[in-house]
Each structure stands twice: as C-alpha cells, then as structure tokens.
Amino acid sequence: MPLKTLQPAHSIQTPANNSTHSWLRIILIGRNLKRTLLRAGMWAAVCFVIFRVALVRVEVIGISMLPTCPEYSRYWVNRSAYLWHEPQRGDIVAIRLAGIHEMLLKRIIGLPGETVAFSNGRVLINGDVLNEPYEKYPCNWDQPPILLTNGEYYVCGDNRTMPAADHEHGICQRYRIVGKLLK
C-alpha cells in the first residue's frame, strides 16, 4: 500500500480563501487584464489632454487682481474657452508674456474698435462710464483715450489703488490671450 504524502496546512486552499483572492484580483486588475490596461491607457491620454493641453494651472503673484484673486492663490485657466467665440468684456484671462510659464491674470475692459480712457478713476469706454461691480477700491487714474484696433484688447487688474505706473495694464494682442480663468 503506497504511503500518502501530507501537504503543509498553509498550501491547502479553502473555498473562502480562493473567493477572497479572486475578488481582490478583480478589484485590482479587473476581470480582463488587457481591457484594464486599455482603460488605464485611455484614462492616461484623457488626463494628459485635459491637464496639459486644455487647462493650465496659474499662480497669482502680486496684488493687482485684489480682491478677486488674492496673492499666491492658484487657479485653472481654460485654454479652449475662446475656440468658438472671442473674449468678452469682464473676462479674467491669462496673458502670455514670454515663455511658457510667464503669464499675467488680468480683466478685459476694452474690446477691439473701442476707445478706452481713465478719468478721475473711472473707466470710459467710447466716452461712457463702464459699470464695474468687481472694482471695490477707489482709483485716481487719468489717461487719455486709446483706440483699440482689430485684435487688440485693453486689460487691467481689479486693484486700482496702486499708481497706474506700478500696475501692468494696457493693450494686449489677441494672440497673447491664453484662455479664460475658471472660477
């Protein structure tokens, strides 16, 4: 009579242990490894497009957009916002200065074909006072009218308590506008 060999207790799989093992495998890699890898690749491609092509992360450095955008706050800019329409007055946009990481956040106050002026701290568009509910602080800027040509926008920060000479504002070419701030 042949002798039976005994197996160690840890190598015997019980149905409960096998069931737990298969559920863990399904949770981690799915029922079909090829399909799971394909989904992971598709998600990676979608995330790449969204976070490298469609959206840009910007950090505010400076106080020119107070109180709307506090210093050192971070925002996403939608690069595809102006694919089907042009920028509008009141939009907060990212403007590329030089290189891929040099950008300003500013608000559009003047559109192509308009004249923009500052008189006693008020913005005048074609001679009419612009209603700016976002501008909270007093301003004393004075500037003669500037005519914007095709493809030019006038941009300015919301914090106009700063002297006009210390504040980055003025004409911005359309091609420099990267996208619209998501807020």
Q: How confident is the model at residue 167 (pLDDT cuts 50, 70, 90)?
A: confident
- Contact between 155 and 95 under an 8 Å Cβ cutoff? The reply is yes
What is the per-residue pLDDT for 102?
A: 79
Active-site annotation, residues = 64, 106
pLDDT of residue 92: 97
Could you give the 3-state DSSP secondary structure of residue 125?
Answer: strand
Which helix (H) or strand (E) element contains residue 29? helix 15-29
Model pLDDT for residues 57-103, shown as the tens digit of each residue: 899 999 999 889 999 999 999 999 999 999 999 999 999 987 667 78
Do residues 82 and 111 touch, judged by C-beta distance below 8 A? no
Outline where DSSP puts E strands in 26-91: 55-59, 74-78
Looking at the predicted structure, is the pLDDT value of residue 9 above 90? no
Tokens of residue 114, six digits:
């308009």
pLDDT for residue 162:
86
Check pLDDT > 60 for residue 13.
no
Q: What is the pLDDT of residue 155?
A: 97
Residue 6: predicted pLDDT: 56
- Rg of the chain in Å (alpha carbons): 29
CA pair distance 66, 160, nearest whole angstrom: 9
Comparing CA positions, the residue from 117, 101, 97 lying closest to residue 109 is: 117
Q: Letter for the amino acid at 116?
A: V
Q: Tell me, what DSSP letter sits at residue 69?
A: S
Q: What is the mean pLDDT of residues 104-130?
A: 95
Q: pLDDT per residue over 128-144, tens digit each?
A: 999 988 877 788 899 99
Q: State yes or no: pLDDT of 30 exceeds 90.
A: no
Q: Flag the least confident range among 12-21, 22-31, 66-75.
A: 12-21
What is the pTM for the complete model shown?
Answer: 0.76
For a pLDDT cut of 70, what percent of the chain falls above it?
87
